[in-house]
Homo-oligomer: A and B are copies of this chain.
Amino acid sequence: MLNYSTSEENYIKAIFHLQQEDGTVTTNELAAELKTKPASVTDMMKKLKTKKLVHYEAYHGFRLSNEGKKLALIIIRRHRLWEFFLAEKLKFSWEEVHAVAEDLEHVSSKKLIDKLDEFLGFPRFDPHGDPIPDANGRIETSKQVCLTELPLNKTAIVCHVSDQSSEMLEVLGHKNIMIGTRLEVKKRFDFDNSLEIKTGKQAATTISDQLARNIYVKTA
């Protein structure tokens, strides 16, 4: 794997994110995303094409090649591992981690990132709930979200509880909810944001907003 400039890496990352939704990405879209001008985007696309990181025909948009996708996943891996480090070890708040990780992600030592991963205990999600690609570039397809944000009737699996107090564990135990439990939100009551939950074949239970805020799930 060759070495790429900070600028090239930022383009690759932005294309990756945009093409998740769009499939193919346009010059104006990318210019807006990167806060640069369309002319600059065209220049860069020509370069990334000669480096075989994107497929690109003039006037017809672009998308990442397989090489480009691999690179994008490496950069996203670096970014999310640093975010995890900042939040978990340095006690940065949730909102602060992104900006600093934007700089750290361009330090390109593979060994650094793999050792950092190990040091952190191979975390699977960053502090925003986004999945972290592994050393081979494999990434989980679903984002980890708070139970309060899970759409109705969408099956999901509990993967994290942020408050481990015995009081909390008591309620969870009573309701038969634990890491790995498969569940769906059947109803959301606007009055107090409480949720009606269905787990497996059991009868439905109601969960308070306060409890739901501490439960994180990923869609199956």
* A contact residues vs B (CB 8 Å cutoff): 86, 89-92, 96, 99-100, 103-104, 107-109, 111-112, 115-116, 118-119
Contact A107 B103 (CB under 8 A): yes
Contact yes or no, B89 A112, CB < 8 A: no
Count of this chain's copies in the oligomeric assembly: 2
A116 CA / B109 CA spacing, docked (Å): 19
Q: Are A116 and B90 in contact (CB under 8 A)?
A: yes
Contacts of A86 in B (CB 8 A): 112
A109 to B98, CA, bound (A): 12
Contact assessment for B107 and A92 in the assembled complex, using a CB-CB cutoff below 8 Å: no
> Closest Cβ of chain B: how far from A146's Cβ, in Å?
26
Chain B residue with Cβ nearest A114: B90
The smallest beta-carbon distance between A157 and chain B, in angstroms, is 32
